[in-house]
């Protein structure tokens, strides 16, 4: 069943630079999709279009039961808040704040008590091998640890769709493998993941690989 449907998408910057013209693409619920292509091919732009943080020049976007979505629509705001999670290469965390502070943000809209929030946070920190990191500042963590915190944040948020933009680009091979394994487990639990990468060695993790250049 198609979860995300892009139909006849056009994305242009001004009148001379057309990045996509009449792009149509469907992504099923539960897929782990890799977006590949040369630098400048539009991988990140396509990811941002799907994530409703870059508007389109023409065409339609459907996500689940929400049709004809635009970046500024109320339904897009609801999807960004409750359904879509973003995983970036710079981790998307507030470096001068603690791990606890960053993870509590993910539970801001959850109607649960403070004690239950802390229990959930500690549960995932322990599962991800970060049990002693609760009160550490983000800048005190390694890149791999920061990315694990970022993934925990998405889990706590309850994201059903994760959009990842080069999430392993700044990591060494060992941490790269850890992060990809965690994403794979999330995908196997039912989360749909769409990931931009330049590293073709990661393609074995994906259920489908899309060469963005073919859609230009």
Q: What is the reported pLDDT for 14?
A: 75
Lowest-confidence pick of 162-166, 180-184, 187-191, 212-216? 212-216
The whole-number average pLDDT for the span 50-68 is 95
Q: What is the reported pLDDT for 210?
A: 96
pLDDT tens for each residue of 63-121: 999 999 999 999 999 999 889 999 988 888 999 999 999 999 999 878 888 899 999 99
Q: Hunting for tokens 């979505």 — which residue is that? A: 69
SS3 per-residue string spanning the chain: CEEEEEEEEEEEECCCEEEEEEEEEEEECCCEEEEECCCCCCHHHHHHHHCCCCCCCEEEEEECCECCCCCCCHHHHHHHHHCEEEEECCCCCCCCCEHHHHHHHHCCCCCCCHHHHHHHHHHHHHHCCCCCCCCCEHHHCCHHHHHHHHHHHHHHHCCCEEEEECCCCCCCHHHHHHHHHHHHHHHHCCCEEEEECCCHHHHHHCCEEEEHHHHC
Q: What is the reported pLDDT for 216?
A: 77
Report whether 71 contacts 54 (CB < 8 A).
yes
Give bridge partners of residue 13 from the DSSP assignment: 17
pTM over 0.85: yes
Give bridge partners of residue 30 from the DSSP assignment: none
What distance in Å separates the CA atoms of residue 81 and residue 197, rounded to the nearest whole number? 25
What distance in Å separates the CA atoms of residue 98 and residue 83, rounded to the nearest whole number? 25
Res 13 pLDDT > 80: yes
- Joined tokens for residue 201: 């060695």
């Amino acid at each position: 069943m198609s979860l995300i449907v892009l139909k006849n998408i056009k994305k242009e910057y001004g009148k001379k630079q057309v990045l996509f013209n009449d792009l149509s693409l469907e992504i099923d619920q539960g897929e782990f999709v890799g977006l590949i292509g040369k630098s400048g091919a539009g991988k990140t732009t396509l990811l941002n279009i799907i994530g409703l943080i870059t508007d389109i020049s023409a065409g339609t976007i459907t996500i689940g039961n929400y049709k004809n979505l635009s970046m500024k629509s109320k339904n897009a705001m609801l999807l960004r808040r409750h359904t879509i999670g973003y995983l970036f290469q710079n981790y998307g965390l507030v470096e001068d704040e603690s791990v606890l502070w960053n993870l509590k943000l993910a539970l801001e809209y959850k109607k649960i008590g403070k004690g239950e929030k802390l229990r959930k946070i500690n549960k995932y920190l322990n599962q991800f091998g970060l049990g002693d990191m609760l009160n550490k500042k983000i800048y005190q963590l390694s890149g791999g640890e920061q990315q694990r915190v970022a993934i925990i944040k998405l889990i706590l948020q309850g994201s059903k769709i994760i959009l990842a933009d080069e999430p392993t680009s700044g990591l060494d091979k060992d941490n790269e493998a850890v992060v990809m394994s965690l994403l794979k487990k999330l995908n196997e639990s039912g989360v749909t993941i769409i990931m931009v990468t330049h590293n073709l060695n990661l393609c074995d993790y994906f259920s489908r690989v899309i060469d963005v250049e073919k859609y230009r």
